[in-house]
Amino acid sequence: MLAIVLMGPPGAGKGTHAKWMAEEYQIPHISTGDMFRAAMSSGSELGLKIKAIVDRGDLVDDDLTVALVRERLLQDDCKNGYLLDGFPRTLAQAEAFQEMGREIDRAPNLVLNLTCPDDVLLKRIGGRRVCPTCGASYNIHTMKPQKEGICDRCGSQLIQRKDDNPSSFEIRLRNYYASTEPLLDYYRRQGLLKEFDGTEAANNLKIELETLLASYR
Ligand code: AMP
C-alpha cells in the first residue's frame, strides 16, 4: 500500500514526479494547488475567496485546506492509497492530518522529500509552463513540449502560472522555509521521511524512486 506525502520547495519537481507515480501505482494524485486552481477558474465562492492569496504566493487558511483534503481522502478511490502533493504545508495542517488520518484510516506510510537549491528553483520556476487542462508541467529550457506552447498529453495551449513570477515566488519560498520545511523533522522523527536529490535528471530520479517504491507494494 502506498499512502504518500510528496514534499519539496516550489519547483523541486513534485508535480512532474507525482504524475507518473500516480499512473504507475494507480493511486489518486491529490494536489491541493490543483484543487485551489480548479476552484479559482470555476469562479466559485471558494475560488474568489482564495484567488488573491494564491496569486501573490501566500498560503490558504489551514482549516479550509484541511477540510478540503479530508473530503477528498474520504472518497472511495483513496481507500487503497493516495499521493498527496502540496499538503501538509504547515505544522497545524500536519497535526490535523495526523489526527484525521487515524480517525478516517488514511494515515500516510511514506513521506518523500525532493531537495533543490534556491538558484535552481528560481530558474525552473521562470521557465515553467503548465497545461491548464491536464496539469502536465514543462520547462522552456529543460523539458520542452514537442510542439512549442502545446501540451504533449492533451493538445491544450500551455500557460505560465500567475504565481510563477519573481515576487510571488519569493513569498512562496519564504513561506516554504518558515512553515513547510520544519515538517521534515516532524516526519523524520516518525521514521517516514525519505529524501531525494531534486536536481537530478527526471529520468534518473524516477528510477531511484521506483526502486524505493517497489519495497512498499
Ligand atoms: P502548488 O501548486 O502546490 O505550488 O500550490 C499553489 C498555491 O496553492 C500555493 O502557493 C498556495 O497559495 C496554495 N496551496 C496549495 N497547497 C496548500 C496548502 N497545503 N496550504 C495552504 N495553501 C496551499
Residue carrying the nine cell digits 502506498: 2
- pLDDT score of 154: 95
Is pLDDT above 90 for 25? yes
Q: Are 13 and 114 contacting, i.e. CB atoms less than 8 angstroms apart?
A: yes
pLDDT confidence bin for 156, thresholds 50/70/90: very high
In contact, 78 and 28? CB cutoff 8 Å:
yes
CA 132 to centroid of ligand 1, rounded, Å: 16
- Which residue in the list 14, 19, 72, 124 is annotated as catalytic? 14
What is the overall mean pLDDT for the chain?
96
Q: Which of 72, 106, 128, 129 is catalytic?
A: 128
14 is catalytic: yes
* Joined grid coordinates for residue 150: 502545446
Q: Quick: pLDDT tens for 184-208.
A: 999 999 999 999 999 999 999 999 9
Choosing from 31, 32, 137 the residue with most ligand 1 atoms within 8 A of its CB, the one to mutate for a pocket test is 32
Is residue 172 among the annotated active site residues? Answer: yes
| Ligand 1 environment, Cβ below 6 A | 10, 32-33, 36, 53-54, 57-60, 65, 86-89, 93, 163, 172
Locate 124 and state its grid cell. 525552473
For ligand 1, atom 1, which residue shows the shortest CA distance? 33
Helix (H, G, I), strand (E, B) or coil at 143: strand
Ligand 1 atom nearest the C-alpha of 10 is 4
Assign 135 a pLDDT band (cuts: 50, 70, 90). Answer: confident
How much distance in Å is there from the Cα of 169 to the middle of ligand 1? 12
Contact 52, 44 (CB under 8 A): no
Q: Please tell me which residue in 72, 89, 106, 129 is annotated as part of the active site.
A: 89
Range list of H helices, 148-201 = 166-175, 183-189
For ligand 1, mutation pick of 89, 121, 171, 174 (most atoms within 8 Å of CB): 89
Residue 98 pLDDT > 80, yes or no? yes
Per-residue pLDDT reduced to its tens digit, 29-43: 999 999 999 999 999
| pLDDT tier at 217, thresholds 50, 70, 90 | confident
Closest to 180 in 3D by CA, of 1, 47, 14, 50: 14
Residue 37 bears catalytic tag: no
